[in-house]
Structure 1
Amino acid sequence: MTAEAFAFDPANEIHARALRRLEIEQVAWFGTIGRDGYPHAVPIWFLWRDGRALIMSEPETAKVRNLRANDRVLLHLEAGADGEQLTVLRGTAAISPEPSRGWVERIGDAYAAKYDAWLQRLGLTTATMAERYSVVIEVTPHKLLAW
């Protein structure tokens, strides 16, 4: 049985703060379960869209291999400027059947707005990023751990 997606309540102060951070934070930690049963965590860029985190990934990464075997994940933001704003999403992730270049048509402008300075430093555009990071991971939260 698949768990339902977590419903954020914008009237709830903690939920509202978590949503703001998901929209503006540039780096999150993405945790999957490795083949050996141990957690595997990596920093990722992501875009928060329609209640999900979208992550572009190179296809041959450990996180992609792990997701093919186990869809349970964590998305964890840093503790915030004051060190006291914990935001962790527990949920499931799926590899989109659509390659990232198709996603770029829908999310490219928002992705570029969020990561343009970083892309420029790396000599990338959103389109060239999508060529290399051709897998899109869609993270659906089922539980929010935040304060």
Structure 2
Amino acid sequence: MTAPGPFAFDPDVPSHVRTLERLETEQVAWLGTIGRDGYPHAVPIWFLWKDGRALIMSEPATAKVRNIRANDRVLLHLEAGADGEQLNVLRGVAELSPEPSTAWLPRIAEAYTAKYDAWLKRLNLTTETMAERYSVMIEITPHTLIAW
């Protein structure tokens, strides 16, 4: 079965506007993949929203990378918001970039550092050392938005 085309956010739909704002500012989301046992697998991730896709650096030997190799259908779920009432879930497909995370740095380092610098410092990392360690770049293209 072929997946639908990429999701287009409509600037006239309030839930689309709120979701896009959150994708650009939220620091943690949950990535859901399908495990080899057929059950969902969810992990918190850091991500960067760029050009209509979520970009996630991952260590290569993780369950999420293994799961995406077997089944590219994923779910990106934002936290419930300060009031616990904001639902923002993107369903889509994931692709493991043929380029390592370090090759992406000229395109994303400035934004990634701006978003995660304080957290990286607490872990004694920089964006560059993060990209070396988390060398697999996962690109998520959303196809469906569930939000209210």
Q: 1:104: how far off?
A: 1.0
Letter in 2 for 1:26: Q
Deviations 1:36-93 (A, max 9, x none): 0000000000000010000000000000000000000000001101111100000000
2:122 aligned residue: 121
1:22 equivalent in alignment to 2:23 = yes
For structure 2, list consecutive stretches of 5 or more residues without a partner in the other structure: none
Q: 1:2: how far off?
A: 3.4
Deviations 1:91-140 (A, max 9, x none): 00000001100111110000000000000000000000000000000000
TM-score (structure 2 length as normaliser): 0.98
Moved more, 26-35 or 5-14: 5-14
Letter in 1 for 2:9: F
TM-score (structure 1 length as normaliser): 0.99
1:44 aligned residue: 45
For structure 1, list consecutive stretches of 5 or more residues without a partner in the other structure: none
Extract structure 1 runs of 4+ deviating beyond 3 A. Answer: none
2:67 aligned residue: 66
1:105 aligned residue: 106
CA distance in 1, matches of 2:11, 2:125: 35
